[in-house]
Amino acid sequence: MQSAPLPETLANLVGLDPNSTPVMIVMSLVGAALIGTLMMTNTALAGPWAKRKITAAFTDRIAVDRIGPYGLFIIVADAVRLLSKELIVPDGVDRPAWDLAPLVIASSALLGFAVIPMGSGIHLADPEVGLAYVFATASIASVGLVMAGYASNNKYSFLGGLRAVAQNVAYEIPLILTGASVVIFAGSLQMSEIVAAQQQALIGPIPSWYAFVNPFAFVLFMIANLAEVGRNPFDIPEAPTEIVAGYQTEYSSVYFVLIYLGEFIHIFLGGAIIATIFLGGPAGPGPASLGIVWFLVKIWGVFLFTQWARSAVPRVRIDQLIEIGWKGMLVLSLANLLLTAVIVGVIA
């Protein structure tokens, strides 16, 4: 199951020495480009097409079906449309922060995929602190949100930026604490180790994925993840009917695309983390080379879940959100962590 990280494989593939540093630098960049392209392709599919189709199915509509089979070519049409729009720079925005924010939001989420084992040998790097690294990069997006909110010189953006920070602080702690309970099980922060620890059978045909070993932590993590990616019932930072579009109110054209790209990649990164630490990573029936397929199925499953929540669940109020975060999620995730530690300590 555990194949060498991607750069090494690539180096071997083209017949270069995997021990030389320049070769590895080049191969790492190539690998990163491959993974980046893969995730961007996912996002291109999800943003203009899948999201519309899924929401439409939930809400009794048809959605795009005019261009191409199942309306798939809407992706091209949307790309042309969005990129050809005028980039409006409002008076009084705080540059360069205003210009950098979309880049920060979009790229920070992509960084996280570097350490995710996607199966079929697609695994860019496998540092010992993999999980900590993923959480760290995912959090950078908050900085982007504050930059966008603060630099836009718009009160709605400002409120949205503040809301984003309050929300991310309140929900990242439960998220990480719940993630830590998995680390206690696996005994390692290294992603490949966490995945490897989930490969034995639990009972009968059920694998020992941590979602089955500790469903409580899984549920907590799914909820905290909804808040982390800002989807209903926690889409407070954008909250269209309250603060127009929150931090992204003033963005148009390419910047708008970048922000949306960032949001979708963030959802997929959330899905990737969940797949890796709770759903056995790329594990699934069939040969190991099918790993990437199973991995994609899992992250799309998580994406489907966020769209479901978006279609059917009302939004909580900002004070209620903070209350749920600090008084509910934090306490529960601490209890989960303690309990896991005790149980693992007793068994081991």
Partner 1 sequence: MSLEKPTPDTATEVGVTEDGLDYDALADLLGGHVLDREEHVNAEGFVIRPDEVQEVLSTLKNEAGFDHCACVTAQEYDDRYESIYHLRKFDDPTQELSVVVPTTKDDPHSESAARVYDTADWHEREAYDLVGIDYDDHPDLRRILLPETWQGHPLSQDYNQDQPQIVTLRENANPLEEDHRSEDDPDTMFVNIGPHHPATHGVLHVKTVLDGEQIADIEPDIGYLHRCEEQMCQQGTYRHQIMPYPDRWDYVSAGILNEWAYARAAEDLADIEVPEYAQVIRTMSAELCRIAAHMLALGTFALDVFGDFTAIFQYAFRDREVVQNILEDLTGQRLMFNYLRLGGVAWDLPEPREEFFEKTRDFLDDLPHKLEEYHDLITGNEIFQMRCVDTGVLSEEMVKQYGATGPVARGSGVDYDLRRDDPYGYYDELDWNVVTEEGGDNFSRVLVRMREVEESARIIEQCVDLLEQWPEDEREIQANVPRTLRPDPDEEIYRAVEGAKGELGIYIRSDGTDKPARFKIRSPCFSNLQTLPEMSQGEYVPDMVASLGSLDIVLGEVDR
Question: CB 336 → partner 1: shortest distance, Å?
Answer: 22
| Closest distance to partner 1 from the beta carbon of 229 (Å) | 15
If the CB atoms of residues 27 and 93 are measured against partner 1, the closer one turns out to be 93
Nearer to partner 1 by C-beta: 111 or 224?
A: 224
Q: How far is CA 301 from CA 35, 154, 267, 279, in A?
A: 19, 36, 11, 11
Between 166 and 339, CB nearer to partner 1: 166
Nearer to partner 1, 85 or 317 (CB): 317
Query: Do residues 122 and 292 make contact, with C-beta atoms less than 8 angstroms apart?
Result: yes
Instruction: Name the DSSP letter for residue 24.
Output: H
Cα–Cα distance, 210 to 186 (Å, whole number):
9
Nearer to partner 1 by Cβ, of 228 and 235: the residue is 235
Q: In a 10 Å sphere around its CB, with 0-12 CB exposed, 13-18 middle and 19+ buried, how is residue 250 labelled?
A: buried
Please say whether the beta carbons of 38 and 26 come within 8 A: no
Residue 123 CA to residue 27 CA, distance in Å, equals 12
* Residue among 312 and 341 whose Cβ is closer to partner 1: 312
Nearest approach, Cβ of residue 162 and partner 1 (Å): 9
Query: Which parts of the chain are beta strand (E)?
Result: 201-203, 206-207
Residue number with CB closer to partner 1 (86 or 91): 91
CA 315 to chain CA centroid, Å, is 20
Both tokens of 72, joined, read 């798939």
Of 262, 263, 274, nearest to 300 by C-alpha is 274
Residue 277: how many CB atoms within 10 A of its CB? 30
CB of residue 243 vs partner 1: minimum separation in angstroms? 7
Structure tokens at 328: 């509910």
State the minimum distance, in angstroms, from the CB of residue 90 to partner 1: 12
Please state the closest distance from residue 245 (CB atom) to partner 1, in A. 8
User: Of 72 and 309, which has the nearer Cβ to partner 1?
Assistant: 309
Q: How far is the CB of 227 from partner 1 (least distance, A)?
A: 13
Among residues 56, 43, 61, which one has the least CA distance to residue 266?
43
Where along the sequence are the contacts to partner 1 (CB under 8 A)?
A: 58-61, 155-156, 159, 232-233, 235, 239-244, 310-320
Q: Output the six-digit token pair for 204.
A: 């009968």
Provide the 8-state DSSP code for 316. P
With b for 16 or more beta-carbon neighbours within 10 A and e for fewer, the 28-61 pattern comes to beebbeebbeebeebbbebbbbbbbbbeeeeeee
Residue with smaller CB distance to partner 1, 123 or 310: 310
Smallest distance from partner 1 to CB 63, Å: 11
In angstroms, give the least distance from the CB of 317 to partner 1. Answer: 5
